Structure formats: structure tokens, C-alpha cells
Structure 1
Amino acid sequence: MKKTNTNHFIIIVFLTLLLGLSFSTDKGAAQEKGKEASTKKVEYIDLKISIENALNTEKENIDQLKEQLNRAQSLKKVMTTELNVYKIQLSSYGNLLLIAKTKIENLEKAWTDNRASLDSIAANLKETNQKLITVNESLQRTKEQHALNEKQLAEIKTQGAKDPQTTNLLYKLQELIKHLSTKMELLEELNGIYSERKVQLENAQQALVELSKKFEQQIDEKKKQELFERGINPLKALELKQIGKDLNRLSGKIFSMFLKDFWVNELTAIWNSENFLIVTFFIIFIIFQFLLFRLKNYCKGLEIKPFSKQFPCRLLVLQLFNRSLPLMGTVLFIYVYASIRLFYSTVPLIQITIYILLIFLFTRWGFDLLKLWNQGKRYRISDQLLPYLRSLLIIIRFFAIPYVIIVWLIGSTSIILLVLRMIFEIILLGWNVLFLRQFNNFNKISAAEKSSRLSILRNIFFVLSYTITGGGLLLELAGYGPLALY
């Protein structure tokens, strides 16, 4: 009996352990399944949030692309009109080249208009290329994103889960793919518009470049031809009535220069230039002036070096360069910046500014040369001759500046310019007579020297000086005004 109870106890303990082990295994499996379900749930939530964020972003992108497409389509109509204007310009200017009696002034004006069109096309072409690159890059990224989302959609469908979370995720993903398809369609349409515009602009640019070369060639030929082509006798052309008309035009232009509207219009032409950036201009200009200041200090250091004093001519050139460095650097900066930014040929104010600065620069070199030359110990210029040489530079400065301003204001065919040239030539001839008389007084040569090389050079100098100063006036009176000016 006791043995039977013992057996029953063993069986009960064994069954209890077996049930406990079975319960422990089931519990572990349940925990693993719960953990896997929890991880899967977190992944679905993260994917859902990512898709919703991407969906919101693409909705905003589509709205922006629709606005961009509307602007591009509107601009397409404007561009078509502008291209038609270029075609008309090509036709009319092409006919102008075929007319043999076309004046240089008309050719230069047409060339300037043609350059303005080229500058405008270059700016539009640059902008179109940038937009085309941006659209193509965006289109490529969108295609990759579209392919990735379609792959994710196929993987989720393969799993066959039909719980509410998965169904909602599939709906969001399909909606995202639909928006990406819409985005690709918009980008492809934009790509087509920009590509077509690029081709049209490049064709117009090529045609205008060829036309510009023809203008430049014909202008050069006309100028060479006019140099040796006799015109109307200036004495016959000096009609008081025509002089009065030109004076009225000139006075009106000069008066307008003191009005606010004149400078507003001139500065607006620069400001509205698509390639002019005022902040960039002043920043680069300040940096450039700082570099010139450093270079000027460096050149000053070179002037006091022993080797500079051993070579007087090199020292003279270095001193001239150093003294004119700020002005020369300013002229160079304005010209290079305007040329690179493609508005030098289309803004007359920039051109006249550079011309005036160049006149000051060249005459400044003359004044500095006279001053520095006499600092040397050899070949000094007589103090009696220096005032004559300085007065020549002053005469040139006060003739050249008004001349280029008048050309800017009323053109190069005005009778006033003819009168101004003749006055300058008469003054120059008178200056030459006085200068040579003074030069002769301070450079007496003996009878023994009259047959020497010095005498020959002296006579050549006299002949050349009279030829240059008197020849211009004679050519002007003979009707060869362009050659006299040259």
C-alpha cells in the first residue's frame, strides 16, 4: 500500500514538471510572436510616417511645378514674339548691309542694337540652361523615387497581409506613386519647353553673331575707305543755319544733363541690365582697389632698391606705372567688368566714361613724364620749353574731352565737330610755331655742326612737326576730315 502511494506521488510530480515545461515553451513562443508583431508594427508606423511626409512634400512640389509650368507657357508666348522681332531685325539689318551708301553712323547704331540683342539672348540662354539642368536633375531623382516606391508596393503586396494597417499603407503608397507620376509628367513638359527654347535661342544667337561679324567687317572697310575719300569742302559745309540747328540740339542735350530724368534714364539702362549686379560690382571694385593699393606700396619699395637706380629708364617706367596705377586700374576694371557682363557695347554712358578716363590717363602720363624726366641728371628739358609741353597736354585734354562728349550727345556727323577740329588744328599749328621758335633759340648750333648728324636730325624734327600739325589742317580744308582726325 505504501509502495502504491509512492508511485502515485512520482507520477504526479512527473506530470506537474511536464505541464510546467509545456507551459514555459508556449509562453516563450508567445513572447517571440508578440515581439515580432511589435517590431513589425513599429516598422509599418515608420514607413507610414515616411510615406505621408513624402506625400505632403510631393503635393507642394506639384503645386510649385504647376506654377512654374504656367509661367513657362506664358513666357513661351513672349519668347515667340521676341524671336520674331529678332527675325525682323536680321532681315532689316541684312538689307542695310546690302545698301552701298549706308553711313557709318547707321551701321554703328545697327551694330550696337545687334549687340544689345546678343547680350539679351546670352542672358536668356544662360537662364534657360540653368533651368534645364535643374529640371533634368529633378526628373532623374523623381524617376528613381518612383521606381523605388513601386518596388516597395510590390513587396508589401507579396506578403499578402490584409490587416487595416497594411491596407492603409498600400493606399498611401499608391497615392504617393500617383503624385510622383504627375510630377514626372510636369517635369517632362517643362523639359520640352526649355529644350525647345534653348534650341531657338541658340539658332537666333548664331544668326546674330554672324550678322555682327558682317557689321564689324563693313564698318572697318567703311572707315578705311573714308580715310582716303574726299568729302565736301568744309568751308562750303559751314552753313550758319546748320550750325545754329546743331547748337540748339547740343544746348538742349547739355541742358538735359542737369535734369534728374536724364541721369535716371542713363543709370536705369545700367541698372536694368540683366548682367549688372551692383552689390557684386562694388565688392569686387573695393577688393580690386585694395590689391592696387598693395601693388602701389610694393612698387614704391622697388623704386628705392639699388638696382632700380642703376637703370634710369626702368626706374622711369616704374615710377610712371606707380603714379598712374589707381586711375589705370579703375579704367581697366570698369572695361573688363562691363565686357564680361556683356553690357559695355549697349550702354553708351559706360563707353563715354572709359573714353574720358583714358584721356585723363594719357595726359597724366605726359605730365608725369615731364616732371620725372627732369629729375635725372642727363638730357634735361629746358625750363623755357617745359611750359610749352605742358600747355600742349592741356590743349589736348580740353579738346578731346568736349569732342567725345559732343559725339556722345549728338553724333559724329555734326558741323560743330568740324568747327571744333579746325579750331584745334589752328591752335596746334600756332603752338608748333611758338614751340619751334623757342626750341631754336635754346638750341643754337655752330657752323661746324650744321653738316653733322645732329643737324640732320634737327631738320627732320622740324619737318615732321610742321607736317603733323599743319598737315591735319590742310587735310581738313581739302575735305579729308577723317584722315585729318586720324
Structure 2
Amino acid sequence: MTTRHNARRCLAAAVLVLALVMLSAVRGNTQPPAADPVADKAPPASLAASIAASLASEERLVEALQAEKRQADQSASVFADRLDAYRTQHAVYANMLALHTVSATDLEAAGRHVQSSLVEIHEQQARVRKNLETVEQYRSGIKDQVAVNQAYLAELTAGSSKGKDAGTVEAIQRLIDLVNRKQALLEGLHQIYATRLTDLKTMEGMLTALSGKLEGRVQEARKRDFFSRSTGFPIQGGWEGLRQEMSQVADVARSRFSVTYLVEEGPLLWRSLRQVLAYGVLLVLLAAMGMARLAAFQRRIDQEKAFASCTAFQAVLYMFSRSMWLLLITALLFLYMQAGDYLPSPLIVFIFSLARIFLVTRWVMDAVDCAQKGEKPLALPARARLVRRACQGVRLFGVVYATLLFLAPEAGGLLFLTRLLFEIGALVFALVFWRGRKQIPDREAASAASVKHRLSFGWAVNVVCVGGLALELAGHGPIALYWYISWGRTLVIALWVGLVYAALGELRRAYQVDPAASNETAEAQGSPVWWILIRLGQAALVAASVVALIVAWGGGQDALMAMFGLLHHPYEVGTLSFRIIGFIYAVVALFITHMIAGAWRYLFERRVLRGSGMTQGAQESVVTITIYIVWAVGILAALHVAGFNTTSLAVVLGAIGIGLGFGLQNIFNNFVSGLILLFERPIQVGDDIEVDGTWATVKKINVRATIVQTYDNASLIIPNAELISNRVINWSFQDKRLRRKVAVGVAYGSDVELVRTTLLEVAAGIPRVLKTPKPDVVFKDFGDSSLVFLLRFWTHVAYFYAVETEVRFAIDRLFRERGITIAFPQVDVHLHSETPPPSTDDE
């Protein structure tokens, strides 16, 4: 008790102390503090320390701003010189645009210089903008700081002399002076940075416009050079002209591969490299993951010493694994060339050209290697060697020609001679390739289509090679080169499209479900996700091949934009407006809806509803209703992407209503009847029904009609309205069991108890006769020729015909064993003869 009492005392004391503290806090917040003579004589130590810290911070900030102001003033002349250099560059290149004799190479060099200047301007803008934002942050709070300090100084000076402290007033005054100096410095810096930012934006606009004009002139010059026809001999001055061009190439090579050139090009390369660095790291990681995935496949190839059979899927993996790193380098160079707002360096263009040439020839040689593998090689060794040598020749020509373009693009004689040698070599290759048409293996056994395709390819090679040489000799060297390059791109596109499409076909066949397979086998065979991905891959491959062919033949961005513009062009039909791209989107939406509906049916039936305890008919009804919902959403989405708005949909629905009122009422009636069948479920999928005396099993309830399959394996298509309005016997509506009756007649005089016992024994001996309800025997009637008995038993609807047959066989067997005679119709005929009356003698 004492301990508890002491605890209560301590708790009460604590509560009292807490209440006093809270009361003092409230009074302190509501009443001003009492005057303290000591406080009136001297400021608190904390206030003096705070003022001193503020003075030190402001002094450091003012010194930093003064240093920055001096640096800005000193760099003003450098900035002005740089602006003058940009203006001079603009003036020089603007005058260059006025000349019509400037080559495309000079215009490209001018464009690179202008775009390099634009990159520098962007970097300077970023620095100036950052400095300006810092200055504005300081300026945003300086007015409040000045107002607070002046108000505090006024409060100190307005008090009595007794409460004044000279040190505090002096410190506050110094703080105000520092803040005013800081404000003046910030205003000066703000004006400098704002002016510089305005000048940079103005110069950026001028150089951007100039860059656009230079790019347009480069395209014009390229087009002019491309379509210009050389009227004289391309090699000016004969061998002496060639020697001069070769010496020019050597001089340019020494300058291009010097340290000075690399130092000059280094900063520009690094600026653009920073923009694609993240993409490069991502591509390297993806390439490493891909190589890890393909490592096992590559090891299997090495172990098997090639392919056991040359399939398209294996060929794609083989070619991709062999060219992974070369493809990565080419992709990085492509991203580098596309990054930034400036033209790529000639060095990068040169390296990118070499990477493309080696990548394309690598693919062709790998494809030839794949064609030679397997039990039935698709290419002869001689032809395979010929194609490999041709690829090596293409590499040699590509290296030489790209080097000449990099070092001396104006060396027309050397370029012509290189092209001519390549075209002669291509013609020789075509003739040798055509000569080998007679060496096709099993030519007599090969199909006519196979031989025709090979001969067509040979003719195409001849036409390409002869056409390029004819263009070159006619003076259209650039067009001849474009001819060869475009056909080479087309060959590579056709190669990859054919291989990938065949590989997707192999995957589709691998995941294709056998229609005759059971549910378990079908589930093990197929996967709707893979089927959807394969179908989408085939559709994407077709679209990509069209775009790739357009780009391969020089379509580029303009042709693609024109094509897309045509697809997006609106067409007016009355009050309706539609676009071709809208219908394409609608078809794609319906195709995707179809795939989603199929995948949903598969997943919902085999994953969600399996094990739910619902009957097969109930599951089918739920799945069908959800499929209708999916299709309704898909159709609305297709109408939306096709461009039909609310008004258009109202018109369409009105037309549908009129059609329903006239010609489509039967279809609509069947559709509504199908919905009734799904919701009310008088019949379900899997039910055994009898229609007009025909027994059948319900297989599918569609939108318009129901498909049933008779016991003779014939499919009947019954409109849904007939199943709703006519009489239909459903033998498995509530229960799959049904009672069957077998009638048998025995001869008069038979032991009826033995007959009854035998019939019950027959029913008990049939395994598929249900034990509950029990079978029974009915003495039906005294017939004309027999005593009629009925054996009634219960069995399952799925095999009642077979059970009836087994029962009849057993009855016949047991009746014979036990001497029970099965009666048959008998007719007793009694003949009555009439005797004629005796004759008389009189008669």
C-alpha cells in the first residue's frame, strides 16, 4: 500500500509540474517579455554571433560575386570575338550559297562547320543559362533581406538610448551595405548573362537557318551530280591525270591520318559520342546477353560439325551469332551518325561504309555455308566457292571505293576506273554463274518450279550486271553505282525476309495444335501466346520488308512521309469522312481482337474454368458470352480507329436498324435466340438432344446457328430460332441418366418366374447398367402369340445404344441355355370341308 501511495504522489507531482510548464509557455506566447536591465544594456550572445556569421557569409558571397563579375568583364572581349567569328562564318557560307558551282563536298564541309558552331553555341547557352538561373535565385530573396535588415535597424535606432548598442547598430549597418553591394553585383551579372543569352539565341537562329539552306543545297548538288551525264572520257589527261589524282589522294591521306586532323576532329566526335553513349552501353549489354544465349547453340554446331539438317530457324541463329559484334558496331555507328543536329564526320562515314560492306558480305557467305549443310545441300560446292569469291571481290571494291571517297571525292578518274573494274568483274561473275546452270544437281528429278526459280535468279543476275555496265559506259556512273547498291540491298532484304518468314513458319508448325488431338494433347502441343507472337511477327515482317525495300531504292524519309501522307489523306463520301490508314488500323484491331478472343477462350477454358465444378455446357456459355464482349469492344475500337465519330456511328446504326426491319430480321432473330440459349441454357454444349426424331450432340452454339453432331457423325446446322420455337427433346438437360426398355415375348406355357429371374440376371450382368435405380421387369401383356415382358433399366446417355445391344445378346444367350422359347407370330388355320348331298335316282 505504501509503495502504491508513493507512486500516486509522484504521478500527481509530475502532472502538476507539466501543467505549470504549459501555463508558463502559454503566458510567454501571449504576453511580451518583461524588461530586463541587463538585456537592455547588451545584446544576447546568440544575437551577436548570428550577426557576425551573417556578416562573414555576406562578405564571402560579395567577394565571390566580385570575382565572377571581373571574370565576366574579362571574358566579354572573348565572347564578342567569338560572336564576330560566328557572324563571319555566317557571311562566308551565305555567300557560298549564292554560287552555283560549289561542289557537294564543299557544301557538306560548310554544313559540318556550321553545325559544329551550333553545338558550341548550345553548350555556351547551357552555361550562361545555368549562371543566369543562379543569379536569379539570389535576386529572388534579396529584397526581403534588405527589408528585414532595414526594419531591424529602424527598431534599434528608434528605441531609447539606454537600450541602444553601438556595436549592434554598426554591424546591422555593415550588413545592409554588404547586401546593397551584393544586389548591385547581381544586377550587373544578370544584365551581362541576359545579354549574352539573347545574343546566343539570335546567332543560333541565324546559323540554324543557314544550316537548313546548306542541307538543301547539298541535296540539290547531290541530285545534280547524280543525274548529270558525263559526255567526255572520265579520265582527264590520261595517265598523267591519274598520276596527279593518285598524288592528291596520297597528300590527303597524310593529312587525314595525321595527329592534327584527329585533334581537330576529336572534340566534335566526342560531343556527338556523348549523345549515343547510353545507347551504346545498352546495345553492348544486349549483345552480351544475346551472345550468352547463342553460346550453347554455337557449341552444338561445333560438336555436330554443322547442321544435321539445314532449317531456316537454325540458319537465322547461325547467321546472327556469326555477325553479332559486327552488327553491334554497325548499329553504334548508325546511331552516332543519326545523333545530334550536325552532319557526321567523313571519318565516321568511311568507317560506317566499311562496316556495312563487311556485314552484308558476312551474311551472304554465312547463308551459303548454311545452304551447303544437311543431307540435301541447296548449293553446289563450285557455286558456293564462286559466291564467296564474289563477296571477297565486293569487299575489295568497297574498301577501295570508300577510301577514295574519304580521301579525294573529286578524283573522278580513279573513281571511274574502280567502278569499271568492279562492273567487269560482276559481268564475269554473272557469265560464270549462268554457265553453271547445267550443273544443277538432280536436274531431271527436280521439280519444274525449282528449276524455274533458279533459272530466273540467273537471268536476274545477268540483267543487273549488264545493266550496270551499260549505265557506266553511257556516262551515268553515279546511277550505275546506285543500281548495284540498291540491288545488293534488295538481295540482303530478300535473304533475311525469306529466312525469317520460313523460320516463323517452322515455329508456327511446331506450335500448331492437331485438330484431332484430345484436350490434354492439344494443351501440350500448342500455346496461344506463341501463336499470337508468331502471327504478329509475320505481319510485322511483311510491313518491315515493304519499308526496307522503299529505303533500299532511295525512298528515304521523303518517300515514307509521302506514303504516310497518302494513307492519312481524308476522303469525303457524303457526310462521312474516312482515311485509308483508318481502315488499316481497323483491320489490325479486328485481327488483334480475333487473336485475343482465341487466346482468351484457350486460357479461360483450360486455366480459369478447369476445376470450377461447372458443367461443360455452363463453361461454354460463360466463355461464349465473354467472347461476345471481347468482340463488341474490338468492333467499337475498330470503328473508332477507322474514323467514325458519334454522328457517323448513329448513321451506321440507323442503317443497321432499317436493314433489321427488312432483310436482316431473320438473322437478328437467330442472334437474339442464340443469346437466349446462352443465358437460359435450355440446351448446352455437350447435351444429347432429339430433333425431329434425330439424335445428336450439341457441339457449338454460334451467333446465328447451333452445330450438332448426329450419332452417324453428320453435322447439322440448326438456326437458333428453330431451337427456341420448335419442340426439342433434351435427354441430358438435368441428368445424363436415362431409362431404356427392352421388350421380349416368350411362348405361352413358359415359366414366367424363370423369365423374370433371367431378365434381372441379364441386367445385373451388364457393367454399364446402373445399379441405382434398380432394374425391374414388367409383365406387359398377353399377346396374340406371346407373353410380352419389358426389362427396364437405367444407363448413361453416352452409350445407351451399346447397352441395349449387350442386353439383347445376353437375353438370347440365357434364354437358349434355360430352354425359354422366344415366341414368334403364329397363325392356326382350320379347314372345314362340306360334303355334298347324296344324289337320287330320280335326279
TM-score (norm. length: structure 2): 0.47
Deviations 1:131-157 (A, max 9, x none): 222221222243443333334334434
User: Equivalent residue for 1:81?
Assistant: 81
Q: Letter of the 2:472 partner, please give it.
A: E
472, 478, 494: which one aligns with 1:476: 472
List runs of 5+ in structure 1 lacking aligned partners: 1-32
Question: In the TM superposition, what are the counterparts of 1:5-404 in structure 2 within 5 Å?
Answer: 36=36, 44-160=44-160, 166-234=165-233, 237=236, 239-255=238-254, 262-263=258-259, 265-271=261-267, 275=271, 289-298=284-293, 312-336=311-335, 340=339, 345=343, 347-375=345-373, 380-404=378-402
> Partner of 2:44: helix, strand, or coil?
helix
- Map of 1:23 onto structure 2: none
Gaps of 5+ in 2: 1-32, 301-307, 483-843
Deviations 1:38-92 (A, max 9, x none): 6788963222222222222222222222222233233333333333333333333
Rate the CA distance shift 1:160–1:478 in 2: closer, same or farther, 3 A.
farther
Shift of 1:253: 3.8
Q: What code does the residue aligned with 1:317 have?
A: V
CA contact (8 A) 1:266 1:349 kept: no
Once the two structures are superposed, what CA deviation does each residue of 1:168-213 show, in whole Å capped at 9, x if it has no partner?
Answer: 1221122122112211221222222222222222222222222222
Asked whether the equivalents of residues 108 and 218 of structure 2 are also in contact (C-alpha less than 8 Å), the reply is: yes
Contact conserved, 1:233 with 1:477, CA < 8 A, in 2?
no
Paired residue type of 1:426? I
Alignment pair present for 1:462 and 2:458: yes
Deviation at 1:420, TM superposition (A): 1.5
Gap change, CA 1:437 and 1:149, over 3 Å in 2? farther
Aligned mates of 1:448, 1:303 — CA distance in 2: 33
Between the aligned partners of 2:452 and 2:233, the Cα distance in structure 1 is: 37
Look up the equivalent residue of 1:46 and give its one-letter code.
S
Residues 105, 48 of structure 1: CA spacing in aligned structure 2 closer, same or farther, 3 A cutoff? same
In structure 2, how many angstroms separate the alpha carbons of the residues matched to 1:158 and 1:335? Answer: 75
Give the equivalent residue in structure 2 for 1:434.
432
The 1:62/1:376 distance shift into structure 2, 3 A limit, reads farther
Q: Answer yes or no: is 1:417 the counterpart of 2:412.
A: no
Deviation at 1:266, TM superposition (A): 0.5
Report the counterpart of residue 819 of structure 2 in structure 1: none
Q: Is the 8 A contact 1:374 1:381 kept in 2?
A: yes
Q: Deviations over 1:246-298 (max 9, x none)?
A: 1112223445677xxx13541453147673788x9989866753443123324
Aligned-partner residue type, residue 204 of structure 1: M
Question: Of the two structures, which has the highest relative contact order with CA contacts closer than 8 Å and spacing of 6 or more?
Answer: 1
Change (3 A) 1:446 1:331: closer
Residue 122 of structure 2 aligns to a residue in which SS?
helix
Deviations along 1:365-402, one digit per CA (max 9) or x if unpaired, are: 22333233444666622222111111121111122123
Describe the superposition over 1:340-385 as per-residue Cα deviations: whole angstroms up to 9, x where unpaired. 466x736433333333333332222223332334446666222221
Q: Is the 8 A contact 2:333 2:352 kept in 1?
A: yes
Deviations 1:215-255 (A, max 9, x none): 22232233233333212433553622221111112223445
Q: Which one is further off, 393-402 or 467-476?
A: 467-476
Equivalent position amino acid for 1:371 in 2: D
* Shift in CA distance, 220/45, structure 1 to aligned 2, threshold 3 Å: same
Q: Tell me, what secondary structure is at the counterpart of 1:385?
A: helix
The AA in structure 2 aligned to 1:330 is: I
Query: Any conservation in 1 of the 2:420–2:469 contact (CA below 8 Å)?
Result: yes
Higher helix share: 1
Query: Relative to 1, partners in 2 of residues 1:137 and 1:339: Cα closer, same or farther, differing over 3 Å?
Result: farther
| Structure 1 pair 284–216 and aligned structure 2 pair: CA distance change class (3 A) | closer
2:592 aligns with none
Residues of 2 paired with 1:148 and 1:346: CA distance?
Answer: 57
Query: Aligned partners of 2:147, 2:373: CA distance in 1, in Å?
Result: 82
1:406-438 alpha-carbon deviations (Å, 9 max, x no partner): 222223444222222212222222222222222
Q: Provide the rounded CA distance (Å) in 2 between the counterparts of 1:387 and 1:421.
A: 23
Specify whether residues 301 and 58 from structure 1 end up closer, same or farther in structure 2 by C-alpha distance, changes over 3 A only. farther
| Alpha-carbon distance change, 421 to 298 in structure 1, aligned in 2, over 3 angstroms | same
Task: Please state how far the C-alpha of 1:312 moved relative to its aligned partner.
Answer: 4.5
Aligned partners of 2:370 and 2:155: how far apart in 1? 88
Aligned residues: 443
Contact 2:319 2:367 survives alignment (8 Å): yes
User: C-alpha separation between the residues in 2 aligned to 1:387 and 1:37?
Assistant: 110
Task: Please give the alpha-carbon distance, in whole angstroms, between the structure 1 residues aligned to 2:309 and 2:92.
Answer: 63
Q: CA RMSD in A?
A: 3.8
Q: CA deviation at 1:480?
A: 0.9
Separation (CA, whole Å) in 2 of partners of 1:118 and 1:196: 18
Deviation for aligned residue 1:483: 0.6
Structure 1: how far apart are the matches of 2:146 and 2:376? 85
Higher Rg:
2
Cα–Cα, structure 1 residues 139 and 405, in superposed 2: closer, same or farther, change >3 Å?
farther
* Distance change in 2, residues 1:302/1:242 (3 Å): same
Deviations 1:309-330 (A, max 9, x none): 9995455434433433323223
Give the share of equivalent positions with the same residue, in percent.
24
